[in-house]
Structure 1
């Protein structure tokens, strides 16, 4: 682990920093009669496995072949691989979305490395929906699904993949089912197929919002001059990865009971759906111990800030943000001045809404969705035109324009209503450059927390 990541502080202490601390934190997992127990032989075998050191070695292996965009992305990828070995412990499983704007950025390589380290990996770009649904429905031998070229599933020309899209959407939560009919001796029979599985997706561009909100996102980029990674040779390196995968499986089996009971502490800015996404990864980090509980939370905050910066806001949210800029320090603004301010930005969409410029009627209609209405306002010159008061926007700005804190210890301000240019800023800053590329040891985990 790079010294830079070691020196950063996540602000939210882990609930446990290794199996022994976890036993103290989650005693119910040791006494709950409904919780499956780990065989003594597996406990004995795992007692010799240092979880933090094992994750270090997996991280080092992946960094040899992958030029990650940031060191934080390499941490998230390592934890995602480990979480896939503990699927019976989770209620939700995050998708791993490996995206880039251009081909040749390393997306497929991330999936290849994932395939040799994850359990029962199924790397596919053209398997039929029926085949994948049947494979996943066998939950006691569920595969880790790795989709490359996601344009075939979500692209504008995609056809006939509704079943796959439904499985990816719903199968992040335990208990999700899809219903099917089949013929048996001339009779129509029904069946329900479970869809809960770890899924990684690689491709160009964006994914639907329903998938992105359930994903750990890694945005790959082409290697710059001087960035090098070791060539991945499956014939050689798959054999090298196999002992790591088997050791990870043994360690995961030994901590499965603790992982199922884990309630990891979340940084202040991670809640709701984001907590569902990152909770399993935090649990893995906490049970591994060492530096992992801390850097996992740093990586999560960094990933969420990056996602926010790349997020394409809805038209309504963009309107709220642009209106915030139009208000400036004023406590009220006329409808006419507000429209002039919105139209002054030639890059904003307000000059061409389905071929028409935004007007007072359209503005009022869009704002009513957020329970904001115009009223007669009194201006300093005594005139009383139609307009909007700043206070009418406070609730909507607070709800729809969240600001990430500068660190995980700083709560989001309820009075700081940022515009779209400010939303998502305040990323965790590094104390020095982070070597994110493989092949030269820049990603190697080392040292103590």
Structure 2
């Protein structure tokens, strides 16, 4: 995005317009949605706002609307968020080829995509589509493909795939860690009869005017921003975006993706002022504490942790898939130390599901000879060395010198 020389200006202007847009969005969403906690509305409203200035941000966190059970209102939230966002449209049954061409065409001022049933993307060989979703969260996200040129030769072509994405799906252990690490998840809960009486059922046609009114508020803010930029005014929002993350006022010294997901939301909150700066930081603390204490929001990371302890228990560099599943699902925690808190014990882990979950990390099972049942057998399994770089990136706290050398010494 073009940068301008800072020019002083008087008056409130765009921040006031954004404040009204956020208020309208929160009130309208509250008419149709029962939030699982007070911070969900903060996250969702600020996320909608960021879609209108996506061309100015460094990264666009994926908004993941998930739940463990159907009938929790995920699709309704996704429809509302997509409809309120900039140039939002729902995408169903798309192919990677169609998606990355569409994103590249709007890369200079990205549109917003809503993808329902995202959990199905991890149940088959859709690695290209999953890679596309993951790569496009940062401004320089590129998807490279090989195509046949007009003269019949193969040539490499790059597509810009940066865009805000809102996704929804059932999270029963199939949503992969790379997506989760780029997402802020709003986990919906089943609606009680009392809550059902409090909200209004959402209908696309009947409520179209109400949603359009909210969108008009955001469009008015974006138009005011465009006018300022056209006259050479440098928005305070751009200063905040450029200054973060090094000047983020967040507790705990967080860094990496854990903070990068929140940068634009915090910048918007500080830009609009009022109660939003404190609200977004309270939401950040809530999510951070939940992730640190439970970590169950990311089943893929939990699986990586569990497999680390399986390798450590067996003390060899090759372990059969059957051995991994037996260890993880066993309730004999004394026999398998380190697995006493894994949520996978209560989740349905099969060989196929484990393969799907590990695939986005670049880890695949292999045929190998391993000691099994008192003899050496040719089975499908996993190699320790394939997990090393993934553990280092996603669960670095496990990768102490003592832990890694212990396995290598007995491999």
Class of the TM-score when normalised by the shorter of the 2 chains: 0.5 to 0.7
> After the TM superposition, which residues 421-432 of structure 1 pair with which residues of structure 2 at under 5 Å, given as runs?
none
2:238 matched residue in structure 1: 257
What corresponds to 2:217 in structure 1?
Answer: 247
Q: Which of 122, 125, 135 does residue 89 from structure 2 map onto?
A: 122
Deviation at 1:262, TM superposition (A): 4.2
Relative contact order, higher structure (CA 8 A, sep 6+): 1
**What is the match of residue 286 of structure 2?**
302
Classify 1:122/1:53 alpha carbon distance in 2 versus 1 (closer, same or farther; 3 Å).
closer
Shift in Å, 1:39: 12
**SS of aligned partner of 2:156:** strand
Quote the Cα distance in structure 2 between the aligned partners of 1:291 and 1:77. 15
The verdict on how the C-alpha distance between 1:130 and 1:345 changes in structure 2, with shifts beyond 3 A counting, is closer
State the secondary structure of the residue aligned to 1:179: strand
**Conservation of the 8 A alpha-carbon contact between 1:52 and 1:292:** no
Q: Distance in 2 between matches of 1:82 and 1:214?
A: 18
Gaps of 5+ in 2: 229-234, 314-331, 346-370, 374-384, 389-396, 407-411
Pair 48,347 (structure 1): closer, same or farther in 2 beyond 3 Å: closer
Q: 1:163 to 1:54 in 2, by over 3 A?
A: same
1:201-230 CA deviation, whole Å, 9 max, x = no partner?
100114211111111011111102311321
Work out whether residues 125 and 147 of structure 1, in 8 Å CA contact, stay in contact via their aligned partners in 2: yes
Asked if 1 retains the 8 angstrom alpha-carbon contact of 2:104 and 2:161, the reply is yes
Decide which structure has greater helix share: 2
Mapped pair 1:213 → 2:204: no
- CA displacement 1:300-356 (0-9 Å, x = unmatched): 11122233424253126768xx9xxxxxxxxxxxxxxxxx98339898399x9x989
1:292 aligns to what? 276
Q: Does structure 1 conserve the Cα–Cα contact (< 8 Å) formed by 2:149 and 2:155?
A: yes
2:402 aligned with 1:372: yes
Q: Give the corresponding residue for 2:168.
A: 202
Match of 2:114 among 133, 146, 166: 146
> Cα deviation per residue 1:416-438 (whole Å; 9 max; x = unaligned)?
xxxxxxxxxxxxxxxxxxxxxxx
Structure-2 change in CA distance of 1:299 and 1:188 (3 Å): same
Residue 249 and residue 50 in structure 1: after superposition, are their counterparts in 2 closer, same or farther (change >3 A)?
closer
CA contact (8 A) 2:17 2:217 kept: no
- Answer whether contact 2:309 2:337 (CA < 8 A) is retained: no
Instruction: Give, in angstroms, the shift of residue 109 of structure 1.
Output: 0.7
Deviations 1:65-102 (A, max 9, x none): 11110111111111111111111111111111111111
Distance 1:142 1:281 in 2: 17
Choose the corresponding residue for 1:179, options 127, 133, 144: 144
Give, in whole Å, the separation in 1 of the partners of 2:333 and 2:205.
62
- Given candidates 292, 306, 310, the residue that maps to 1:315 is 306
Distance (Å, rounded) in 1 between the aligned partners of 2:48 and 2:2: 27
Question: Counterpart of 1:236 in 2: which secondary structure?
Answer: coil
Of 182, 203, 206 in structure 2, the residue corresponding to residue 233 of structure 1 is: 203
Instruction: Note if 1:105 corresponds to 2:72.
Output: yes
What is the Cα deviation at residue 44 of structure 1?
Answer: 8.8
Question: Could you tell me which residue of structure 1 aligns to residue 393 of structure 2?
Answer: none
**3-state DSSP class of the match of 2:268?**
helix
Structure-2 separation of matches of 1:347 and 1:178:
37
TM-score scaled by structure 1?
0.61
TM-score (norm 2): 0.66
The alignment yields a C-alpha RMSD, in angstroms, of 4.0
Q: Could you say which residue in structure 2 is the equivalent of 1:224?
A: 192
Deviation by residue 1:122-180 (Cα, 9 ceiling, x = unmatched): 212312221111111121353211110113311x3x23x22211111111111121122
Instruction: Give the structure 1 partner of residue 32 of structure 2.
Output: 65
Distance of 2:5 and 2:220 partners within structure 1:
14
Partners of 1:125 and 1:150 within 8 A in 2: no
8 Å contact from structure 1 (residues 145, 199) kept in 2: yes
Map 1:272-351; keep pairs closer than 5 Å. 272-308=256-292, 309-311=294-296, 312=299, 313=302, 314-315=305-306, 342-343=334-335, 348=340
Q: Report how far residue 234 of structure 1 moved.
A: 1.3
Number of the residue aligned with 1:268: 251
- Three-state SS of the structure 1 residue aligned to 2:191 is coil
In structure 2, the partner of 1:84 is 51
Distance change (3 Å), C-alpha of 1:284 and 1:355: farther
Q: How many residues align?
A: 314
SS at match of 1:235: coil
CA distance in 2, matches of 1:212, 1:344: 27
Q: Which runs of 5+ in 1 are unaligned?
A: 1-32, 323-339, 357-364, 375-386, 388-449
Distance in 1 (alpha carbons) for counterparts of 2:188 and 2:32: 13
Q: Following the alignment from structure 1 to structure 2, what is the Cα–Cα distance between the partners of residues 288 and 275?
A: 20
Q: Is the 8 A contact 1:176 1:195 kept in 2?
A: yes
